[in-house]
Chains A and B, each alone.
Chain A
Amino acid sequence: GAGVSQSPSNKVTEKGKDVELRCDPISGHTALYWYRQSLGQGLEFLIYFQGNSAPDKSGLPSDRFSAERTGGSVSTLTIQRTQQEDSAVYLCASSLVAGGPPDTQYFGPGTRLTVL
């Protein structure tokens, strides 16, 4: 079956521009996560969606970052007024259900964002 897909795979933008990154989770997965991996760093949690519940935005680094999930499926991560420190690989993951014992998160291939 289809895994988690993300688009674009690479994005180069100029400082100050806005970017949108897209994630298509595995069909039927109710939980969706965004992470980012900066150079030499581990995966950093950004935001989490579970069904119709309010998202956990506690990992978003600034108010320039926002995300939405439409219809409980596709998610878009938006970064406004990009800065060079936003350059990273942005990874999306989904899981069947969250809460209780952790279930396996399945990751997409990521979007490599480069801010010039």
Chain B
Amino acid sequence: DQQVKQNSPSLSVQEGRISILNCDYTNSMFDYFLWYKKYPAEGPTFLISISSIKDKNEDGRFTVFLNKSAKHLSLHIVPSQPGDSAVYFCAASETSGTYKYIFGTGTRLKVLA
């Protein structure tokens, strides 16, 4: 039972355009969400997070949107750069003392120069 789903395994975007990566979850107890970026042969690195008390969090070119009623979050990258090409994982957690992140299967983003 996949509690966190990234239904698009890959995405190609032209440099300078917007990249939108999507993530859906099923567990209504999740109230903290994160995005990680992973380059080949490296571990995932933290990118941005959002608590369920917000519906948007922005950090430079990266913005995460959360729609709690739809159990959906998305990561927007504007403008996309070739260095953004990587696999992006969304993860979800409960803040009620639990430490486990439940990860999605990842979306491979390719930004074309």
**Does A108 sit at the interface, judged by CB under 8 A?**
yes
Structural contact, A42 and B103, CB atoms closer than 8 A: yes
Structural contact, A93 and B43, CB atoms closer than 8 A: yes
Residues of B within 8 A of A67 (CB): none
* C-alpha gap A102/B51 in the complex (Å): 10
* C-alpha gap A110/B49 in the complex (Å): 23
Chain A interface bracket (under 10, 10 to 19, 20 to 34, 35 or more): 20 to 34
User: A82 → chain B, closest Cβ, in Å?
Assistant: 22
**Does B60 sit at the interface, judged by CB under 8 A?**
no
Show the binding face of A for B, using Cβ within 8 Å: 4, 9, 31, 33, 35, 40-45, 48, 50, 56, 59, 91, 93, 95, 98-102, 104-110
Structural contact, B4 and A48, CB atoms closer than 8 A: no
Given the interface pairs A43-B89, A102-B101, A105-B101, the reply to whether A91 lies near B95 with Cβ below 8 Å is no
- CB-CB nearest in chain B for A112: B41
Chain B interface bracket (under 10, 10 to 19, 20 to 34, 35 or more): 20 to 34
Structural contact, B41 and A109, CB atoms closer than 8 A: yes
Structural contact, B99 and A50, CB atoms closer than 8 A: yes
Residues of A within 8 A of B36 (CB): 107
Structural contact, A48 and B105, CB atoms closer than 8 A: no
Structural contact, A99 and B43, CB atoms closer than 8 A: no
Structural contact, A110 and B43, CB atoms closer than 8 A: yes
Residues of B within 8 A of A104 (CB): 34, 46, 49
- CB-CB nearest in chain A for B33: A102
Residues of A within 8 A of B106 (CB): 42
Given the interface pairs A100-B95, A102-B93, A105-B46, the reply to whether A42 lies near B41 with Cβ below 8 Å is no
Given the interface pairs A42-B4, A43-B44, A107-B43, the reply to whether A102 lies near B103 with Cβ below 8 Å is no
